[in-house]
């Protein structure tokens, strides 16, 4: 049994989702979006760190999966996204939770079969894979997709080691 938190980094909205896998069966434990509000950037980062640490303390995941920053046309946006991602990595590391990085296209392809899938397609497939019909924000859907991607990659690596 393994519990993984997926994180979709952002400085205005950071999605998170916790998935447990037991004997190949996925179970949704919780998900949400951290929204620090329209504060100064440094205040938002502090709030994200505190809120994410509270989520980590509540669910106690074994590992974390975080999407890498994709190339932005605007360098300031990419820098802020990278800083928010660093806060998420730091929150996990402060609680000794190993972090694995995944490219957004790999996460999408793992869940939908298409590395360029829209956020709505990702959320739809996440719901199917988890057997859940509830609605969550697209950022939470992306975070859950990262967790599912990580669990699939772990299962694949285990199979390859046995071969």
* 138/144 Cα distance (integer angstroms): 10
91: Cβ contacts below 8 Å, ≥ 6 apart: 48, 49, 52, 53, 56
pLDDT of residue 136: 85
Q: Is 142 a catalytic residue?
A: no
- Range of 10's domain? 2-162
Catalytic site residue from 8, 21, 51, 142: 8
Q: Is 40 a catalytic residue?
A: no
pLDDT tens, residue by residue, 115-162: 999 989 999 999 999 999 877 888 999 999 999 999 999 998 888 888
Average pLDDT over residues 43-66: 98
Q: Who has greater pLDDT, 29 or 119?
A: 29
Q: Reply yes or no on whether the pLDDT at 45 is more than 90.
A: yes
Average pLDDT over residues 78-98: 95
CATH number at residue 128: 3.30.420.10
pLDDT of residue 73: 76
Catalytic site residue from 21, 51, 63, 139: 139
pLDDT of residue 74: 82
118: Cβ contacts below 8 Å, ≥ 6 apart: none
Catalytic site residue from 21, 51, 63, 67: 67
Q: Is 51 a catalytic residue?
A: no
Give the pLDDT band (50/70/90) at residue 72: low
Q: What is the total count of domains within the chain? A: 1
pLDDT of residue 140: 95
35: Cβ contacts below 8 Å, ≥ 6 apart: 12, 13
- In terms of Cβ atoms closer than 10 Å to its own Cβ (0-12, 13-18, 19+), residue 57 is exposed
């Amino acid at each position: 049994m393994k519990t993984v938190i997926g994180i979709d980094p952002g400085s205005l909205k950071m999605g998170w989702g916790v998935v447990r896998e037991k004997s190949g069966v996925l179970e949704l434990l919780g998900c949400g979006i951290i929204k620090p509000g329209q504060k100064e950037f440094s205040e938002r980062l502090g709030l994200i760190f505190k809120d994410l640490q509270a989520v980590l303390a509540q669910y106690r995941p074994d590992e974390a999966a975080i999407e890498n920053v994709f190339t932005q046309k605007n360098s300031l946006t990419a820098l802020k996204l990278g800083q928010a991602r660093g806060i998420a990595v730091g929150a996990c590391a402060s609680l000794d939770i190993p972090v694995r990085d995944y490219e957004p296209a790999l996460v999408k392809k793992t869940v939908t079969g298409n590395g360029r899938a829209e956020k709505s397609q990702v959320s739809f497939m996440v719901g199917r894979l988890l057997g859940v019909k509830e609605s969550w924000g697209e950022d939470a859907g992306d975070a859950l997709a990262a967790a599912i991607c990580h669990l699939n990659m772990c299962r694949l690596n285990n199979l390859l080691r046995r071969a």
